[in-house]
């Protein structure tokens, strides 16, 4: 997910997406611990997406 797409979302949408991405990341980490994922680089991308969403929320809260 690109930062430009995140900037266009409303704050509520960003919060909802953050919750979804965190739960998906946790599930993927568990699956990877049990049996290796076919493409473990997906974990890296999910972590970056979570970080981008959190950064946008922090930026918006600081502006308010």
- Summarize pLDDT for 8-48 with one digit per residue, the tens: 999 999 999 999 999 999 999 999 999 999 999 999 999 99
Q: How far apart are CA 48 and CA 53, in angstroms?
A: 9
Tell me the domains of the chain and their CATH numbers.
3-63 (1.10.287)
Given a cut of 90, whether residue 60 has pLDDT beyond it is yes
Give the per-residue pLDDT at 64.
Answer: 82
Triad 29, 14, 33: Cα angle to 5°? 0
Given a cut of 90, whether residue 1 has pLDDT beyond it is no
Give the per-residue pLDDT at 13.
Answer: 96
Q: What is the DSSP letter of 40?
A: T
Nearest in space to 60 (alpha carbons), one of 8, 25, 20: 8
Whole-model pTM? 0.90
Q: Are 1 and 49 in contact (CB under 8 A)?
A: yes
Give the per-residue pLDDT at 22.
Answer: 97
């Amino acid at each position: 997910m690109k930062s430009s797409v995140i900037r266009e979302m409303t704050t509520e949408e960003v919060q909802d997406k953050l919750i979804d991405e965190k739960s998906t990341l946790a599930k993927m980490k568990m699956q990877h611990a049990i049996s290796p994922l076919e493409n473990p680089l997906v974990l890296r991308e999910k972590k970056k997406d979570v970080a981008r969403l959190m950064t946008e929320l922090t930026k918006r809260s600081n502006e308010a």
